[in-house]
A and B are shown apart, each in its own frame.
Chain A
Amino acid sequence: MLDLDMGKYVVYVWGAYGATALGVLGLTVASVAAHRAQKRKLAALQAESRKP
C-alpha cells in the first residue's frame, strides 16, 4: 500500500522529489537532444565530404 499523504511535510518531501525529477529529466532531455543534433551534424558533413 502506497503512502502518498506526506501530512505537514508535504512541501519538503514532494519538493525534494520534484526537484530530483526536474534535475534528472532535464539532464536527460538536454543530453539526448545534444546527441541527436550532433549525430545529424556529423551525418550531413560526412555526406558533404563524399560529394565529388
Chain B
Amino acid sequence: MISWLANPERFSRLFTPIRPYIGAAAALLCLWGLYLCFASPEDYQQGDTVRIMYLHVPTAWMAMFVYLVMGIASFFGLIWRHSLADVAAKAAAPIGAVFTALALLTGSLWGRPMWGTWWEWDGRMTSVLVLFLFYIGYIALHAAIEDETRAARSTAILALIGLVNLPVIKFSVEWWNTLHQGASVIRPDGPTIAPDMLWPLLVMALAFKLFFIWLWLVRIDTELMARRTRALRARLSFAEEGN
C-alpha cells in the first residue's frame, strides 16, 4: 500500500481532488470550535484563562503528532528510499515548527497569570523547546544541502534522532517534578475535564488535525512541482547544450 502510494503521480491523482473538501471541513470545524471556546463556562479557579487551554493543548498535541509523522516518513525514506517520503517529511516540518512555537507561546501566555511566570526551565517546557529546535535544525539542514539525495538522508537521520524526545515530552510530567500539570485528557482512567470544557478542546484538536492534513497535502504538491520544474529545467538546458 505504502509502495503503491509512494508514486508521486498516483499520490497527486488520488489526493488533489479531495484536498479542497479536507480544507473546507477544517475551516468549518474551526469555526464551530471557536464558538464552543467562548460559549463554554469559565473555570472556577482559572477564570477566563481556561480558554487558552483550547488552543494550547491542541497545538501541543499537533507539535508532537507532526513530528511523529515526520519521523515515520523519514524512516520510510531512509530504509526504502521512497522520494515521496522525503517530500512528505520536508513538507510537514514548517507546519510542525509553527504548531510548536504556538504551543510554547500560548503556554507562556497561560503560565504568566496562573503560575506567575512566563517561563520555567522544567522538564515539559524544556523538552518542547528542544522539539522546536529539532524542527528548526531539520529545516535549516534541508536548506543547507543542495543535493536532494544527501539532504534527504541527512535530515532523515536528524528526524529519527529527534523521535527520542517525544516520550520525554509525554512522560516529563511524571518523571520529574514540574510546574506543568499532569495529563488530564489522555489518561488510562479517562479524561478528568468537565464535558463542557472537553468538547471545545476535542473539536479544536480535530480542526487542527484536518488543517494539518490539508496544508500538508498542499505543501507536498508544491514540493513535487518544484522537483518536476528542476528536472524539466535540467532537461531543457541539456537539450540546448546539445543543439
Interface residues of A (CB under 8 A from B): 1-4, 6-7, 9, 12-13, 15-17, 19-20, 23-24, 26-28, 31-32, 34-35, 38-39, 41-42, 45-46, 48-49
**Contact stretch, chosen from B76-84, B105-113, B135-143, B174-182:** B105-113
Residues of B contacting A: mostly = helix
B150: Cβ under 8 A from any A Cβ:
no
Asked whether, in the complex, the Cβ of A27 is within 8 Å of the Cβ of B35, the reply is no
User: In the complex, what's the smallest C-beta–C-beta distance from A17 to chain B, in angstroms?
Assistant: 7
B226: Cβ under 8 A from any A Cβ:
yes
Asked whether, in the complex, the Cβ of B110 is within 8 Å of the Cβ of A12, the reply is yes
B235 CB contacts on chain A under 8 angstroms: 49
Contact partner of B232 (CB less than 8 A), chosen from A1, A19, A31, A49, is A49
User: In the complex, what's the smallest C-beta–C-beta distance from B213 to chain A, in angstroms?
Assistant: 13
User: In the complex, what's the smallest C-beta–C-beta distance from A27 to chain B, in angstroms?
Assistant: 5
Question: Nearest CB to that of A44 among chain B residues?
Answer: B229
Asked whether, in the complex, the Cβ of A38 is within 8 Å of the Cβ of B226, the reply is yes
User: In the complex, what's the smallest C-beta–C-beta distance from A15 to chain B, in angstroms?
Assistant: 5
User: In the complex, what's the smallest C-beta–C-beta distance from B116 to chain A, in angstroms?
Assistant: 12
Q: Write the B210-240 contact mask toward A (1 if CB under 8 angstroms, else 0).
A: 0100010011011001101100110110000
Give Cα A9–Cα B101 distance, bound, in whole angstroms.
21
Q: A2-B35, A12-B110, A35-B222 are in contact. Are A23 and B236 (CB under 8 A)?
A: no
Residues of A contacting B: mostly = helix
Contact partner of A9 (CB less than 8 A), chosen from B35, B49, B55, B219, is B49
Give Cα A38–Cα B82 distance, bound, in whole angstroms.
22
B124: Cβ under 8 A from any A Cβ:
no
Asked whether, in the complex, the Cβ of A9 is within 8 Å of the Cβ of B95, the reply is no
User: In the complex, what's the smallest C-beta–C-beta distance from B91 to chain A, in angstroms?
Assistant: 9
Asked whether, in the complex, the Cβ of A13 is within 8 Å of the Cβ of B215, the reply is no
Asked whether, in the complex, the Cβ of A16 is within 8 Å of the Cβ of B218, the reply is no
Asked whether, in the complex, the Cβ of B236 is within 8 Å of the Cβ of A48, the reply is yes
Interface residues of B (CB under 8 A from A): 35, 38-39, 42, 47-49, 51-52, 55-56, 59, 94-95, 98, 101-102, 105-106, 109-110, 112-113, 211, 215, 218-219, 221-222, 225-226, 228-229, 232-233, 235-236
In the complex, besides A2-B39, A19-B106, A49-B232, 16 extra interface pairs with C-beta distance below 8 angstroms are A3-B42, A9-B49, A12-B49, A16-B51, A16-B52, A16-B55, A16-B56, A19-B105, A20-B102, A24-B211, A35-B218, A35-B221, A38-B226, A41-B225, A42-B229, A49-B235
User: In the complex, what's the smallest C-beta–C-beta distance from B196 to chain A, in angstroms?
Assistant: 12
Asked whether, in the complex, the Cβ of A31 is within 8 Å of the Cβ of B38, the reply is no
Q: A1-B39, A46-B232, A49-B235 are in contact. Are A34 and B222 (CB under 8 A)?
A: yes
B47 CB contacts on chain A under 8 angstroms: 7, 9
